[in-house]
Structure 1
Amino acid sequence: MTETSKPGEGTPGGRLAFAPSNHPTVPPARVGVILANLGTPDATDYWSMRRYLNEFLSDQRVIDYPRWKWQPLLQLVILSRRPFSSGRNYAGIWDKERNESPLLTITRAQTDAVARALREAHGERIVVDFAMRYGNPSTESVIAKLVDQGCDRIVFFPLYPQYAAPTTATANDQAFRALMKLRWQPAFRTVPAYYDDPLYIDALARSVERAYGGLANRPEMLLTSYHGMPERYLSEGDPYHCQCQATTRLLRERLGFAAEEVRVTFQSRFGPEEWLKPYTVEEVARLAREGTKRIAVVAPAFSADCVETLEEIQGEIRHAFEGAGGEEFTYIPCLNDEEAHIRALVSILDRELAGWL
């Protein structure tokens, strides 16, 4: 073996062929993949929720007000009350048997499915894990674990189809901060937004077709409900709004629906600013008041069901529609670990792993 050989490809036990006999063993070189999602509290009690919300709402990618102005309000007012209401929302969807949130359960299932598919194609050289931007398992801990397993190259995959600074960018930020602490950094790639990926669009369309196929009456309107953001982010250059519109257009075309059958809306507004409109909760009530009796809602921006879908859409938004006179409300679950979704994720990863395997 020459000195140009890759680390770990030396003698049995992982010793480099050109290293002295007392050199520490080096694990065989591997390629790591990290699926990254938003995060989840460890439990639904006040202090668990406060820790989680503090980390989330202190992120200046999420709330970009000056810290001197925002932190006193956050610490003294918001975090004294919001952990109680958020805890109740999480408690309503919490998996008590596993003692974890659905987002954690689903992300783990997605990771296992992606790992199986990549292992079948590439063997044991690839290691797949998942990390959360807020909460556990932390991004830093997962990167350290992969490095310890010999991963000298890592693909970091934020599971956000549409790029946004408060989601994709902050996930990447956290990964880069972790890399800054390493003496020996792995080579590192981040996966770009996949809002228009044909297999992702097809997986979305299949989920809608499956849901519609199980209904006695076809919905009059399909709402694609995306997580919202302040309107000013759009004028400041964030492409999120445009990518959401593109996803819905491609989904509608794939389904063969008429333009008037599909509408883009935004949910999960927070704070006093104007956010992207129309707001889902207001739009469903307006449709019901104007005589629409049957609607379906799908959430293309969420790769896994979570509190925003299982509690907000299934609770607040459903109640707004029914309270205004709507009769049939259908929520179409996120893609989660559906086979078509895993196939899309693996296809994207194969593209991003090119040259490394």
Structure 2
Amino acid sequence: MNETPGTSSFTESAQQQGVRPPAKIGVLLVNLGTPDGTSYWPMRRYLKEFLSDPRVIETNRVLWWLILNGIVLTKRPLASGAKYRTVWNEELNESPLRTITRAQAEKVAAAFASRSDIVVDWAMRYGNPSIASRIEALAAEGCDRLLVFPLYPQYSASTTATVNDKVFDALKAMRVQPAVRTVPPYPVNPLYVEALADSIRTHLANSPWEPEAILASFHGVPQSYVDKGDPYQQQCTLTAEALRRALGPLGDKLKLTFQSRFGLAEWLKPYTDKTVEALARDGVKRIAIITPGFVADCLETLEEIAEENKEIFLENGGEDFSYIPCLNDSEPSIRLLTDLIERELKGWA
């Protein structure tokens, strides 16, 4: 068979220079972030990186720098560290989010074990392992294509967009950049909605009591972000509506709320903690809460919901409170993540 003119000499030259034909696809799962420890300085480093992101705090940069460095970072690391210690994985000396995200990546990698051209890794937007370090590692393994998976079912500029920002910041420093794709949000994906519905049904089937209300608590964002065009609230509503339908008659008990507000600005309503308090004061004795916007349990679910909101409910007259865990690294979760990855790899793999 005749060679294309110049092909042989090009190949020989490439081999002499140590250039290998690129043949792999890197899949990078990215979650929000985690401190490296619960003491003051690890917490301060993490909070400074997180709260310095202009996607997270959309306000006057000079004013916010003064507030952040003069007030927030002097007190908040100690308070946040105390909260993290209540959920910390002492055996591995790490946060639950790091433990679970690693497990998710390992199980997704196992699902693609028969594909030698796919390399699965994981990173954190804030903290370690950093996005840049894992992109470098994937490139070193011969990945010339990169699928970035921000682990957020609903899109917000303060979550999904900032992951993508950091990815492209890392690419700016690379001489040879991989081709890049990003996984879009999936607020009404059938596998996602059914996995949530099954987790609720399974959890309640193992409970000695039936809740009078079920809250679907999503992480909040300032109302101003939505006013500027962020689709987050709409996508959370779509998820709640789809979940309500999937639950059938049980779905009549589902209420949409938003948690984790910070500062004095108005955030998306209704607030989870205020709703929990109001339900208890109105005579509701039994509630359950699920957090559909989180793919892995973390401080905001294990401490804020399972501990703080439980305390609010019981102090205001409630009797039975149950937190329904995130999908984490369960079989339905890995099936969902794998399916989404396979969909986005079409044309590449």
Q: Verify same fold: TM over 0.5.
A: yes
Give me the whole-angstrom Cα distance separating, in 2, the residues matched to 1:80 and 1:257: 49
User: Among residues 102, 108, 126, which one is paired with 1:108 in the alignment?
Assistant: 102
What letter corresponds to residue 88 of structure 1 in structure 2?
A: A
Q: Distance in 2 between matches of 1:297 and 1:17?
A: 60
Q: Measure, in 2, the Cα distance between the counterparts of 1:20 and 1:245.
A: 53
1:170-181 paired onto structure 2 within 5 Å: 170-181=162-173
1:237 to 229, 236, 241: 229
| 1:158 corresponds to | 150
Equivalent residues in 2 for 1:240-255, closer than 5 Å: 240-255=232-247
| Aligned partner (choices 173, 176, 184) of residue 192 of structure 1 | 184
Output the CA distance in 1 between the equivalents of 2:105 and 2:348: 20
SS of residue in 2 equivalent to 1:19: helix
- 1:275-301 superposed Cα distances (whole Å, 9 cap, x missing partner): 001110110110011111111100000
Q: Does 1:98 find its partner at 2:92?
A: yes
Aligned to 2:255: 263
Partner Cα distance (1:4, 1:234) in 2: 56
Structure 2 counterpart of 1:169, one-letter code: A
Distance 2:172 2:164 in 1: 12
Select the residue among 276, 283, 291 that pairs with 2:275: 283
- Retained in 2: the 8 A contact 1:16–1:26? no
CA distance in 2, matches of 1:218, 1:108: 34
1:252 offset after TM fit, Å?
A: 1.0
* Residues 34-57 of structure 1, C-alpha deviations (whole Å, 9 max, x = no match): 000001000001000000000000
**RMSD between aligned alpha carbons?**
1.7
SS of residue paired to 2:80: helix
SS state at 1:156 partner: strand
- State how far apart, in whole Å, the 2-side matches of 1:287 and 1:124 are: 53
Deviation at 1:119, TM superposition (A): 2.2
2:81 alignment partner in structure 1: 87
C-alpha contact (below 8 Å) 2:49/2:126 kept by paired residues: yes
Cα deviations by residue, 1:207-236 (Å, 9 ceiling, x for unpaired): 101111011221111100000011111111
1:208 corresponds to 2:194: no
2:20 to 23, 26, 33: 26
Distance 1:203 1:2, change over 3 A: farther
Structure-2 separation of matches of 1:172 and 1:59: 13
User: Amino acid of the residue matched to residue 266 of structure 2?
Assistant: E
Are the counterparts in 2 of residues 3 and 18 from structure 1 also a CA contact under 8 Å? no
Cα distance in 1 for residues equivalent to 2:15 and 2:345: 34
Q: How far apart are residue 314 of structure 1 and its match?
A: 1.2
1:57 maps to which of 47, 51, 55: 51
2:319 pairs with one of 288, 309, 327: 327
**Deviation (angstroms), 1:17:** 2.9
Contact kept in structure 2, 1:164 and 1:239, CA below 8 Å: yes
Taking the aligned partners of 1:114 and 1:325, their CA distance within structure 2 comes to 43
Q: Output the CA distance in 2 between the equivalents of 1:356 and 1:4.
A: 27
Q: Distance in 2 between matches of 1:330 and 1:16?
A: 65
**Residue 79 (structure 1) shift:** 0.2
Letter in 1 for 2:269: K
Q: Is the Cα–Cα contact under 8 Å of residues 298 and 334 in structure 1 kept in the other structure?
A: yes
Q: Tell me the distance in 2 between the aligned counterparts of 1:216 and 1:300.
A: 23
1:269/1:16 CA distance change after superposition, 3 Å: farther
Give distance in 2, aligned partners of 1:87 and 1:23. Answer: 50
Q: Identity, % of aligned pairs? A: 52
Tell me the CA shift for residue 96 of structure 1: 1.1
1:349 to 1:2, Cα distance in 2 relative to 1, 3 A: farther
| CA gap 1:209/1:23 in 2 versus in 1, 3 angstroms | same
Distance 1:233 1:20, change over 3 A: closer
SS of the counterpart of 2:112? helix
Unaligned runs of 5+ in 1: none
TM-score, normalised with respect to structure 1: 0.94
Kept in 2: contact 1:2–1:18 (CA 8 A): no
The whole-number CA distance in structure 2 between the counterparts of 1:29 and 1:320 is 54
Which whole-Å CA distance do the structure 2 matches of 1:353 and 1:260 have between them?
Answer: 38
Shift of 1:22: 2.8
Give the distance between the partners of 1:90 and 1:99, measured in 2 at CA. 11
* CA distance 1:142–1:16, shift in 2 (3 Å): farther
**Alignment TM-score, normalising by the size of structure 2:** 0.96
Deviations 1:137-195 (A, max 9, x none): 00000011101110000000000000011100001100011011111110000110011
Task: Indicate whether 1:302 and 2:294 are aligned.
Answer: yes
Partner of residue 127 from structure 1, selected from 110, 119, 122:
119
- Matches of 1:41 and 1:108, distance apart in 2: 15
Q: Does 1:77 align with 2:77?
A: no
| Matched position secondary structure for 2:262 | coil
**Amino acid corresponding to residue 264 of structure 1 in structure 2:** L
